Amino acid sequence: MVSQAVVNAFAVVGALLSLPLLLRFLGFIWLYFLRPTMIHRYVHGGYPYAVITGATDGIGRAVASELYTRGFNLILHGRNEKKMQKVVQELLHLRDPSAQGVVRYFIADATKPGHDFEKMLEPFKDLNITLVIHNVGGSNGVQPEKLDERPEEYIHNLVRWNALFPLLLTRVLLPQLRRSAKHGPVLVQFVGSLASDISPPRLPIYAASKRFLEALVRGLDNDEQNFGPPTGVRFTYLAVGPVHTASMPQKPGLNTPTSEQFARAIVQRTGCGRRRVAPYAMHAVSTFVVGGLGERTVDYYTAQEMKTLIDVYAKGE
Ligand SMILES: NC(=O)c1ccc[n+]([C@@H]2O[C@H](COP(=O)([O-])OP(=O)(O)OC[C@H]3O[C@@H](n4cnc5c(N)ncnc54)[C@H](OP(=O)(O)O)[C@@H]3O)[C@@H](O)[C@H]2O)c1
Ligand SMILES: *[C@@H]1O[C@H](CO)[C@@H](O)[C@H](O)[C@H]1NC(C)=O
């Protein structure tokens, strides 16, 4: 006979153990279904600007449209000036002429060394920048080569593209961001990848470059918030799963939003106060499931999936 006291004790322990899970679930419902967007809070001061890198296609371009229609002026970055001018023209048509904002841009190949970031941002140095979306980056698809089959230059390019370009851009922008933060909230968001959580085979450099951003976000946020008087400049790492874009051939579906759907999700989650957030609800669910499965299982299935993906990319080229 188990006494009632023991049963009660187990019930209490069970309830306590499930409490974190319950809180997490409630946090999920709040973040993705109930919380109103805070994006308007970043439209403050005289002529607020958002900076978006890699803004001529995919996620970056969709985020640019979303922010422009919500009243931001834009400073866009791309590598192809012709394509950029087309994007700027299309954006300007999104708002009626009486409410038209300003869309400016700069051009730089993020994989290349030797940029003069100060000079690059000189034309924008008096502007009130309140939001930065470091979106540029990528993995060049998924290829079969291992690390020792890559030239050194390839590795430098990949790390510059995903990690150093956003880092060095942030370095030059910081004083200006602190200035804007005197009038209202300022946020710097880095587009990361769920690949960095699981480091799939054949993508270790890409995964590591995105992990770099996650560590950077926490460190920079600590720098600005917890060492001396808070400056008000905040940082967020965006945990991004599959999104259907030019560089991602997977078809749109429940777990794979279009760039437009994903851009709306970024805007919805902006300013939620988390240092790491998956803008898209299904990507948060994936992270949760992956966390519960254990590393061995995840690694096994990821390796199978990578074989399929390598074939998909090989056929697409
Ligand atoms: N799509 C996904 O499934 C997925 C998943 C996880 C994370 N992400 C991350 O999301 C971000 C955007 O990805 P996306 O799928 O939207 O890519 P995308 O459709 O290929 O667009 C990338 C944008 O960046 C620009 N760009 C590319 N390489 C550049 C370079 N070397 N220098 C300057 N600009 C460059 C492109 O310019 P052009 O227009 O001239 O090509 C374009 O504007 C990346 O950081 C990626 O790692 C994507
Ligand atoms: C930036 O915002 C401040 C505060 O609202 C304003 O006084 C200043 O004129 C703005 N600067 C520009 C260049 O718009």
Q: What is the pLDDT of residue 293?
A: 94
Residue 179 CB–ligand 2 contact under 6 Å? no
Q: What is the pLDDT of residue 234?
A: 98
Cα 53 to ligand 1 centre (Å): 9
Cα 180 to ligand 2 centre (Å): 8
Are 128 and 101 in contact by the 8 Å Cβ rule? The answer is: no
Closest Cα to atom 9 of ligand 2: 46
Nearest ligand, CA 86: 1
State whether residue 172 is helix, strand or coil.
Answer: helix
Cα 11 to ligand 2 centre (Å): 59
Over the Cα atoms of the chain, what is R_g?
21
Q: What is the pLDDT of residue 247?
A: 83
Is the pLDDT assigned to residue 281 strictly greater than 70?
yes
Average pLDDT over residues 19-48: 94
Nearest ligand, CA 176: 2
> What percent of the chain is modeled with pLDDT above 90?
85
How high does pLDDT run on average in the chain?
95
Are 172 and 117 in contact by the 8 Å Cβ rule? The answer is: yes
Segments of the chain assigned E as strands: 48-52, 73-78, 103-107, 128-134, 186-191, 233-238, 276-277
Average pLDDT over residues 271-299: 95
Q: Report pTM.
A: 0.95
Is the pLDDT assigned to residue 268 strictly greater than 90?
yes
What domains are there in the chain, each with its CATH number?
37-315 (3.40.50.720)
Residue 35 CB–ligand 2 contact under 6 Å? no
Is the pLDDT assigned to residue 59 strictly greater than 80?
yes
Nearest ligand, CA 55: 1
Average pLDDT over residues 11-34: 93
State whether residue 135 is helix, strand or coil.
Answer: coil
The total number of residues shown for the chain amounts to: 317
Residue 193 CB–ligand 1 contact under 6 Å? yes
Q: What is the pLDDT of residue 1?
A: 63
Is the pLDDT assigned to residue 65 strictly greater than 60?
yes
Please return the burial class of 35, using the count of CB atoms within 10 Å of its CB with bins 0-12, 13-18 and 19+: middle
Give CA angle at 159 (216, 281), nearest 5°. 55
Average pLDDT over residues 94-116: 94
Average pLDDT over residues 146-158: 96
